[in-house]
Amino acid sequence: MTERLLMIPGPIEMDPAVLAALARKTISHVDPGFIETFGRALERVRGVFLAPSAQPFVVAGTGTLAMELAAQSLVEPGDAVLVVDTGVFSERMASLLERIGANVTRFSPPLGSGPDLGELERALASGMFRAVTVTHVDTSTGVRAPVREVAALARAHGVISIVDGVCSVGGEELRQDAWGVDVALTASQKALGTPPGLAVLALSANAMERYRARKQRVPSLYLDLGEWLPIMQAYEARKPAYFATPAVNLVSALDVSLGQLLLEGMDVRVARHARMADAFRAGIAALGLSLVAQQGAQSSTISAIYFPAGVDGSLVPAIREEGVVVAGGLLAAIKAQYFRVGHMGLTGASEILTTLAAIERALARVGAKVELGVAVAAAQRTLTNR
């Protein structure tokens, strides 16, 4: 059997040129060659986030570290924070904010839905919140939140917006500057197409201002964006600097990957993700399966799919046996009732069709009633606009 196709919501399949950057000899973090690479990678972050005026940060760690960096640097004990709760990762944000001593209010739409914007506006207009957080795409549910609208409401009411874009940046539309998003954060291993290990953030001038106006020092050194700021500024100015050793090879890989994203073009890339997601969903619908995310809140990067009646979690290993790796459920309340498929990064028509075909065969393998070929045919029709 050839290698299995990796279709989980991160890490994803990587381009060989990205992996080749990892395999190169590790050079000094202050080598002129690496300074150039890191500086260019930071410039490329601005490009990918569509945030020419923002301050980019790339720090060794995972997406959770990116969340901690944002929360620890911008939220102080006693601050009231509104957390738009669309799944496991929104809840993670709420819990790490609570550990800082923030006063967290969860804004929880029904499962599968984005927030009601009228209600959200009323909450933000109360004047009590210093920050609002929103998970652009919650990887546990596949729900996409209306970030543009949330950021606009936050701006209108003087509230800082923190967007967890771990499962969106590079696959969903995000225009940080134009939308007035204060903090956008992600990790390397999803739609940015780099192996796990880097936290990537961009802060607006407003967010940097908020950082400078803190009453207390950030209690952690590594989580203090103020410690990282001169380092990022130095690399972008192509000067050596040191605070904590950068992940040299991963940053080099990120630079290659971000270069590829920008070469494709962010608008083209976002449209491709939307088209592939449409084709995938058409196949899933043809099988009679339903999604956790409601229409209008379905993301282009991941689908969370309920098992059909009579089928359980054994479908996931059965799909693996058919050559495609997908993920099980994650949200505690429905964990045993669904599975998740990531469709981001390099995913094109072949990967969508391969995955749907594997799901069809796996359904047959576990004894479900399935008409072979219907999912593939429906996706083909979407891909050819017929």
Query: Could you say which of 37, 139, 176, 257 contacts ligand PMP (CB under 6 A)?
Result: 139
The one segment of 100-108, 135-143, 244-252, 256-264 that binds ligand PMP by CB under 6 A: 135-143
Query: Could you say which of 34, 89, 211, 338 contacts ligand PMP (CB under 6 A)?
Result: 89
| Alpha-carbon separation of residue 187 from 66, 202, 262, 304, 336 (angstroms) | 7, 12, 17, 20, 27
Q: Cα separation of 132 and 8, whole Å?
A: 29
Q: How far is the CB of 28 from ligand PMP (least distance, A)?
A: 27
Query: Could you say which of 11, 39, 56, 63 contacts ligand PMP (CB under 6 A)?
Result: 63
* Residue 147 near ligand PMP by CB under 6 A: no
- Nearest residue to 282 via CA among 138, 380, 137, 170: 380
Q: How far is the CB of 8 from ligand PMP (least distance, A)?
A: 9
| 192 versus 362: smaller Cβ distance to ligand PMP | 192
Q: Cα separation of 43 and 235, whole Å?
A: 10
Query: Could you say which of 21, 132, 166, 254 contacts ligand PMP (CB under 6 A)?
Result: 166
CA 378 to chain centre: 28
| 35 versus 166: smaller Cβ distance to ligand PMP | 166
* Residue 290 near ligand PMP by CB under 6 A: no
Residues that bind ligand PMP (rule: CB under 6 A) add up to a total of 12
| Alpha-carbon separation of residue 44 from 116, 175, 257, 330 (angstroms) | 34, 14, 10, 32
Contact 202, 183 (CB under 8 A): yes
Q: How many CB atoms lie within 10 A of CB 35?
A: 20
* Residue 164 near ligand PMP by CB under 6 A: yes
* Residue 135 near ligand PMP by CB under 6 A: yes
Q: How far is the CB of 62 from ligand PMP (least distance, A)?
A: 3
Q: How far is the CB of 168 from ligand PMP (least distance, A)?
A: 8
* Residue 300 near ligand PMP by CB under 6 A: no
| 63 versus 246: smaller Cβ distance to ligand PMP | 63
* Residue 224 near ligand PMP by CB under 6 A: no
* Residue 64 near ligand PMP by CB under 6 A: yes
Helical axes 63-74 vs 88-100, angle rounded to 10°: 40
Residue with tokens 């608008």: 267
- Nearest residue to 324 via CA among 301, 292, 351: 351
Output the residue with the shortest Cβ distance to ligand PMP: 63
Task: Give the H/E segment covering residue 37.
Answer: helix 32-48
For residue 31, report the phi and psi dihedrals to the nearest 5 degrees: -65, 140
160-164 and 131-135 strand pairing? parallel
Q: Cα separation of 362 and 290, whole Å?
A: 17
* Residue 133 near ligand PMP by CB under 6 A: no
Query: Could you say which of 145, 184, 187, 202 contacts ligand PMP (CB under 6 A)?
Result: 187
* Residue 307 near ligand PMP by CB under 6 A: no
Q: How far is the CB of 65 from ligand PMP (least distance, A)?
A: 7
The one segment of 18-26, 61-69, 278-286, 355-363 that binds ligand PMP by CB under 6 A: 61-69
Q: How far is the CB of 344 from ligand PMP (least distance, A)?
A: 11
Query: Binding pattern to ligand PMP, positions 8-37, x when CB under 6 A?
Result: --x---------------------------
* Strands, E assignment, 265-323: 302-306
Q: Cα separation of 223 and 214, whole Å?
A: 14
> Using omega within 30 degrees of 0 as the cis cutoff, is the peptide bond preceding 11 cis?
yes
Contacting residues toward ligand PMP, per CB under 6 A: 10, 62-64, 89, 135, 138-139, 164, 166-167, 187
